[in-house]
Amino acid sequence: MPIKKLLAQIKDKQWDQQSGSSTLFFMEHIFGAYIDSDLISSPDLSPLLAYVRGGMFYHFIDDRKLSAIGKMLYHNFLKNKNSFDALIHKHRIATKKLEKIRLRFNAVEYESLSSAQLSILFEKYLKLSHAWWFYSLLLEDKGRMIQEEIVPQFAKRHRMSISEAQEAISVLSHPKELFIYNRERLCFLELCRWVFAHNAINWSREQLEHSREFNKKMQAYMDHFFWFESNFYKYKPVTFEMVYHKIREVLESETIQGITDEINSIWKGVKAIQKSKSTLLKKISLTRIDRNDIYFARRVIEWMEYRKISTMHDVYFITYFMEKCGERLGLSFEEVGFLRKVELLKLLRNKSKPDRIILKKRRAGVILVFNKHQPLQTYHDAQGKKLFAALQHKFDTSRFVVGVVASGVESPTISGRVGVVLDPARDAFRDNDILVTSMTRVEFVPLMKKAKAIVTDEGGIACHAAIVCRELGIPCIIGTKNATKKLKNGDKVTLDLRTGNIYRS
């Protein structure tokens, strides 16, 4: 596509933007699946755009088309309630296919595979993963269809304000089960508490390894959360050594009472939501339509949680493959990350070397353009920078920062100092600042617990930030579109938790 035509499309459309840590390899893999997805009669998403530079990505989807997909899901549910659960079931089947090949690979000695055999196995896995990501697209609006379709009608039926209806739906649709970040934290804190309870504070790693009881608990932790330290830009398996050092850090700064208090506070947050749910149900007489809508919203949130965990399993396995491919080819993980899928597989089969000049150009910044039934287009250097600048300009034109209140507190406003974080592994954040980011993921949770409040560019009622903040009791405004552009580190701001407006103090 000529750059002039692409610039005109960028100017003409409203874009949903997300950013974080990732590689060109993942952007091609995920967006390649999104552009191919035909699960529902959704609009053609062309063009999808992604910008990758170093370890950061920005991706852009036509906002109107993304919203249309969420609304189609909801309206299909209204016509046939089983249709939504059927999609979830099919997604689970796709997950089981991936799990099967993972088990097969785990049973194979990596060193026994030739590079050609490794290429064949990786290609097979990527094809199954490609099909898995078809379903992931359906939830890319992060539950925005709930606030756009369900909340206004609920407010109208019960004569509430939009903010009151938003809060009611958020609470009533909140699942009973613990979310993954709380499950991981509880499991880890129980390891710490075991060390205290058994007077093992001064034990070495070797002594703990020889404790059958502790080893059983540690193995259960690693089996469930082996992927927890990895992300789209790094492969980092959870090991005994790693968890041991994390436990040592906690033991140096905490008492057994402090650990017990944190465990109790997690359960207190969950119980507080259930208590709010019981209180609301006494005040509101739910109609049949209400119950259906709340069921739909809850299933979206549950599916989002399932998608999140399954995504990280998939990412862990792909980054593992990338790491092993790099070892065979004499490339760093970062270099492998800036190869395209077809390039990596070809290099493995031929035992050849990549064009390092191209890799250097891509690391400096590359725009990927995906169009249905067309080859992937890439723009480097001045053209890539020009396209990215045009996309960023779309988010710089608004003078105001306003979003949706996803979690409130008793006070109608809250003030504090801004801390902008795009990459939690690289960007500094001070305790009790207001965390401002594009969107949160599992690796943001330690920072979120330190934040006075949280503001995101993206997200809907079912997004990670909304769920975590409700359970932790942290004020949160989501979906501002431009908070990371308009707010800077150190800015003094006030959040209006009734309207979602954010003002510089």
The tens digit of pLDDT for each residue in 188-227 reads 999 999 999 999 988 999 999 999 999 999 999 999 999 9
Contact of 33 with 134, CB cutoff 8 Å: yes
Look at residue 42 in the predicted model and tell me its pLDDT.
63
Look at residue 399 in the predicted model and tell me its pLDDT.
66
Nearest to 300 by CA among 458, 153, 9, 91: 91
End-to-end CA gap in the chain: 45
Look at residue 127 in the predicted model and tell me its pLDDT.
95
CA separation for the pair 5, 428 (Å, rounded): 39
**In which residue are the tokens 């690796």 written?**
443
**What is the CATH number that goes with domain 401-504?**
3.50.30.10
Helix (H, G, I), strand (E, B) or coil at 487: coil
Look at residue 149 in the predicted model and tell me its pLDDT.
93
Q: Where are the domains of the chain?
A: 3-133+330-393, 180-269, 401-504
38-64 tens-digit pLDDT? 766 567 888 999 999 988 999 999 999
Look at residue 505 in the predicted model and tell me its pLDDT.
75
CA separation for the pair 377, 394 (Å, rounded): 22
CA separation for the pair 378, 49 (Å, rounded): 10
Q: Which residues of the chain have pLDDT under 70?
A: 1, 39-42, 107-108, 396-399
Residue type, 231: N
**In which residue are the tokens 């039934």 written?**
373
In total, the chain counts a number of residues equal to 505
The dihedral through the CA atoms of 266, 272, 273, 278 has a sign that is: positive
CA separation for the pair 188, 246 (Å, rounded): 9
